[in-house]
Structure formats: C-alpha cells, structure tokens
Structure 1
Amino acid sequence: MAANTGAEPSNAPATRGRPRASSKAMLEEAASELFLENGYARTTIEQITQRAGVSRNTFFNYFSAKSDLLWIELDASLTALTDALVATPPETPPLDAVERALLVTARGFSAQRAPLVLTQYEVMGIDGELKAAGLARALAHADAIELFLSTRLAGPDAALTARAVALAVVGAAAAAVGRWAADGPDREPLEAYLARVVHPVVAGYGSDAPTPARRDPAIG
C-alpha cells in the first residue's frame, strides 16, 4: 500500500510556467529591464527568457531576433496603419484617408510612456546598425501608404505622387514622433503632434493629387 502523506488530493490540472497569453508581455518587460540595466549588446536572449520565466522556444514563438524587441511599438503601428487604410470607405478622398489613418495609428501610443528605444537609446547603447533597422521599419510605413494611394489615385503621375506623398507624410510623422518622445511624460498625445505637421503636408498636395474620375450615374 502507498503511504498516506496526509495531503489532500487535488483535482485541478497541473500548470507549468506562465500562462501563454502573458508570455509575450513578460518577454517585452524583461527585455526592457535588461536593456536598461546592461545595455542592448550585453543582453542575451537567454538572460531575457530567464528573467521572463519562459523557454527559449517560447521566445522564438514571438520574435525572430533580439532586435525585434526594440521595435515592438513600431511594428504594431505598421499593422494599425495598414488596417486603418484598408478600412477607409472608397468615397473618402485619398489624402484625407492617409491623414486620418495616421492619426488613428497615433492613438495607440500612450502619452505617458514613449517607446524606450526613442527615449533611452543612449543608455541602451543603440548603435548605427540598429538605428538603420529602425529606419527600414519606418520606411515600411511609407510603402503601406504608397500601396494604398496607388489604388486610389489616377493619371500619368499617380505613381510618382503616391510615392512622394508617402515619403513626405512619413517624414513629417517621424519628426513629430521625435519631438513627442523628447517632450517627456507631460507631453500631449502623439495624435496632436502628428496633426500639426501631417496636415500641412497633405494640404500642400491636396488639389494637385490626381484622383480617379467620378462616373456620373446618369450617364451609366
């Protein structure tokens, strides 16, 4: 017979580690802490997973490389921007749609906490190579805007206009984000910064943007 240990039997299923739903957030938090404590270069994936209490395999379920953890907010904003553009009603003027989509995307950022990669890059030791990776991600936003405009503009210069507008508004947005991050915890919402610089750019192209001709329903 087995010895009676006196412990009450439990019907609850055994659990191991952290709930999967929290693993990504725990990795993000652990990485932020370690990047600030040790610097980016001296922080390893093993250290991140140990502090987060998850396995190395779990890390790679969410991220392809350590550098992905620097650009979480930027990657999320690309998804938000693309979704906002796709959701634009067809009757919305194309440049208005771009402006609105950027403002909607900006609402996803907390006014109280800017991404650490923007405010603590010196502490974390972010070098030129990593900054270039961030630039490539920012340019992906321009690509998304250009793709959207290419389906909404018409005329011989439509492709050129789509690219020019995309680069101009992303450049303006980048300047706004930089100023917003530098203004500290008492900053206004990012949306306010973007509105001040993106609108003049969009308005400047406004009447010159070649839009598809509207078909008169009476003509058929």
Structure 2
Amino acid sequence: MGRWEPDARGRLAAAALELYGERGYEQTTVAEIARRAGLTERTFFRHYADKREVLFDGSDTLLRLFTDAVAGAPAGTAPLDAVAAALDAAAEFFTDRRDHSRRRQAVIAAHAELRERELIKLASIASALTEALMGRGVAQPAAALSAEAGVAVFKIGFERWVGAEEDAPMARLLRETLEALREIAGDELAE
C-alpha cells in the first residue's frame, strides 16, 4: 500500500466520493475507501471520524472564510454588505470545485442523515456570522437576521451553482441571489 504517498486526506476524500457515486453512500465501507485510496483503515481514521465526515471536509475553512470576511469589512459597512463580502469569499473557496461539489451534493441529497448534517453546517455558519457581526457592533436582531439571510443566499446560490443547467460562476449567482433578496425586502418594506 502507498501509505507514504503525499496527500492522504485528499486521496481518501476522492476515493470516498468515487465510491459513493459508484456504489452508494450506505453500501460503501471505510475499508473500501481506504483500499481505493491505497491506504489503511487506520490512516482513514487519523483523518476522519467516520465516512460521513469525508463529505464535510473543508467546513471549518469555509466557516473561517465567512467570519474573517465579515470581520475584515471596512468600518461602517452595513451588516448585509459585510455578509456580501463573506459570500464573495465563499465563492472564491469554491473556484474550480464545481464538479466535486455537484457529485458531493448528489450524495447528500440522496440521504436524510447527510442532509441533516448539511443543515447543521449551515446553522453553524449562521451562528458564527451572527457573532462576527455582533463583534462589529451590530445589535440584535439585525445581526442574526443579516447572518440568516446570508446563509439563505448562500444555500440558494449554491444550489443554483451545482444545478445541472447552470454554468455561471458561483460569485455571480450569489450576487444575483442577494440582489433578489434585497428586492424582496425592499418590496415588503414599501407595502
């Protein structure tokens, strides 16, 4: 086995996604993932707690990108504009990852347990964004509303981006989705 080859984590993630696509998530074992990657089960468990977590690798990085972008927005930036900066940072994270994201999303969409984990990830991002906005002096409920709106924009924009009919860049889709939210909010406030 090629235990000493570089990027064991990446090889495990690639092998898992391939196997989930070929055999299905539930039918794939950790042993099969490790074997496909040319590694041992022990090595798998050094990198991932279980086969589910392979699909959520990078969640911490994404969360950090969101919060760092909000924290780094210029002073006086409106809360939703700070969240827009976070959406731009997220779009950069996904550059050149569309195929991987589409395959990953197909696996997640097919399993309730994985959809639940995805919702937990999004809730964690919303909570962290709320804290980051409050750290900028944004009071409640504006901080939580802006954070939740940003996560909704991300979720809908991401779903559009991984959709089979879409080929637009993620950044454009996120901006369009945010603009649609602003239009809806503007319409509702005008009534």
TM over 0.5: yes
Tell me which residue corresponds to 1:60. Answer: 45
TM-score (norm 2): 0.82
Residues 71 and 136 in structure 2, CA contact (< 8 A), matched pair in contact too: no
- Equivalent in the alignment of 2:118: 134
Q: Which residue of 2 aligns with 1:81?
A: 66
Gap change, CA 1:196 and 1:140, over 3 Å in 2:
same
Distance 1:72 1:33 in 2: 15
2:3 corresponding residue in structure 1:
17
Taking structure 1 as reference, are residues 175 and 112 closer, same or farther at Cα in structure 2, changes over 3 Å only?
closer
**Which residue identity is paired with 1:146?**
T
Percentage identity across paired residues of the two chains: 28
Inter-partner Cα distance in structure 1 for 2:54 and 2:84 = 28
In structure 2, list runs of 5 or more residues that go unmatched: none
* Pick aligned residue for 1:69 from 45, 49, 54: 54
Is residue 195 of structure 1 aligned with residue 175 of structure 2?
yes
State which of 88, 101, 104 in structure 2 corresponds to 1:117.
Answer: 104
Pairwise CA RMSD:
2.6
2:146 pairs with 139, 159, 165, which one? 165
Q: Between Structure 1 and Structure 2, how many residues are aligned? A: 183
Determine if contact 2:109/2:115 at 8 Å carries over to the other structure.
no
Task: Tell me the equivalent position of 2:131.
Answer: 147
In 1, Cα distance between equivalents of 2:14 and 2:153: 30
User: Which residue of structure 2 lines up, in the alignment, with residue 214 of structure 1?
Assistant: none
Deviation (angstroms), 1:198: 1.8
Larger fraction in helix:
2
Which protein is bigger by CA-based radius of gyration? Answer: 1
For residues 127-147 of structure 1, the C-alpha deviation after alignment (integer angstroms, 9 at most, x for no partner) is: 212211111111111112101
Paired residue secondary structure (1:30)? helix
Q: CA deviation at 1:196?
A: 0.9
The match for 2:17 is: 32
1:69 and 1:165 map into 2 onto residues whose CA distance is 30
- Using the size of structure 1 for normalisation, the TM-score is 0.73
- What does the per-residue CA deviation read over 1:176-200, in whole Å, with 9 as the maximum and x for residues that have no partner? 111111144x611101000011245
Q: Cα offset for 1:71? A: 2.2
